[in-house]
């Protein structure tokens, strides 16, 4: 500790190292949180179901999405990114996953929501396999931390299907 | 700072930073606010800087006893060789008094 500059540098380095340790501990504390989220989706209406000029099927849906994601939030949560995907199987692909809607939940107060919307993104197939297709609607979420590890999970809701004929 | 002061300054810095970090972490965790933790820690770093970095008088209480110049003259440095360079060095030292 010979000079002002020496002490200032030592203090700064030590302070930043301790800050890194605190952030690691904060991230670790997230593992003590056992979340219990719930979700429900209803397809209110199939607005239209067409085959596009390029040969791909496309569907427009009106959805009712309700979820309670409040238990996902901890002191170390910056926001939760949530999206709804339609998942189904085709002869060409064992898993097709098409994102229909997404949103950002910035705080715990906004985590219990109910929305009525058409699909934000197009529900388009690679080909024309959607007639009479059974599909799952899965709500995925990514819990984005302020510091540390990001967790992702999902709820699968099955039992949805598309009409046999175009409309 | 003197030697005791330097040791005191280093110990104060380490203990204060760790203590503030522990208080900040648990307070932030209990009130569920990450921002609280950072604010407490930042103010702790600032306080520690004010206490341990500047050369305060209480770091200088055990004065270093430098050798008195007249005492040094009574015990001249042993000469390595009897060449001109050796004696030249010695005479220039005496001029610096």
Q: Give the tens place of pLDDT for each residue, A121-164.
A: 999 999 888 889 999 999 999 999 999 999 999 999 999 999 99
Of A105, A145, A152, the C-alpha closest to A25 is A145
Q: Taking a C-beta distance cutoff of 8 angstroms, is the pair A152, A140 a contact?
A: yes
Q: How far is B74 from chain A (nearest CA, A)?
A: 31
Find residue A60's DSSP bridge partners.
A48
Checking if the pLDDT of B10 tops 70, the result is yes
A123 in helix, strand or coil?
strand
Checking if the pLDDT of B3 tops 60, the result is yes
B8 CB within 8 Å of a chain A CB: no
Checking if the pLDDT of B96 tops 60, the result is no
Q: Which residue has the higher pLDDT, B60 or B41?
A: B41
Q: Which residue has the higher pLDDT, B86 or A54?
A: A54
Chain A residue numbers touching B37 (CB-CB < 8 A) = 22, 26
Checking if the pLDDT of B89 tops 60, the result is no
Number of H helices, E strands in chain A: 1, 8
- A14/B29 touch (CB, cutoff 8 Å), yes or no: no
Q: Alpha-carbon distance A158 to A86, whole Å? A: 10
Q: Alpha-carbon distance B16 to B22, whole Å? A: 10
Average pLDDT over residues A83-106: 94
Q: Alpha-carbon distance A69 to A109, whole Å? A: 10
How confident is the model at residue B78, as a pLDDT? 82
> Which chain B residues in 19-58 lie under 8 Å from chain A, judged by CB atoms?
21, 24-25, 28-29, 32-34, 37, 41, 45, 48-49, 52-55
């Amino acid at each position: 500790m010979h000079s002002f500059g020496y002490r200032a540098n030592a203090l700064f380095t030590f302070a930043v190292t301790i800050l890194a340790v605190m952030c690691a501990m904060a991230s670790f504390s997230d593992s003590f949180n056992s979340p219990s989220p719930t979700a429900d989706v209803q397809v209110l209406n199939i607005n239209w179901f067409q085959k596009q000029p390029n040969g791909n099927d496309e569907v427009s849906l009106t959805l009712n999405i309700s979820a309670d994601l409040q238990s996902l939030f901890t002191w170390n949560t910056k926001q939760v990114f949530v999206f709804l995907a339609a998942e189904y199987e085709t002869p060409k692909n064992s898993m097709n996953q098409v994102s229909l809607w997404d949103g950002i939940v910035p705080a715990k107060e906004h985590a219990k929501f109910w929305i009525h919307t058409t699909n934000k993104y197009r529900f388009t197939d690679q080909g024309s396999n959607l007639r009479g297709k059974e599909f799952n609607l899965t709500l995925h979420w990514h819990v984005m931390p302020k510091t540390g590890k990001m967790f992702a999970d999902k709820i699968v809701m099955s039992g949805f299907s598309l009409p046999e004929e175009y409309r | 700072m003197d030697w005791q002061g330097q040791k005191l300054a280093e110990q104060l810095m380490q203990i204060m930073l760790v203590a503030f970090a522990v208080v900040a972490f648990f307070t932030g965790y209990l009130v569920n606010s990450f921002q609280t933790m950072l604010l407490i820690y930042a103010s702790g770093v600032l306080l520690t800087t004010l206490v341990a970095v500047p050369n305060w008088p209480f770091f200088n209480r055990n004065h270093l006893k430098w050798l008195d110049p007249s005492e040094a003259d009574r015990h001249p440095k042993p000469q390595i060789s009897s060449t001109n360079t050796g004696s030249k060095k010695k005479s220039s030292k005496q001029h610096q008094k």
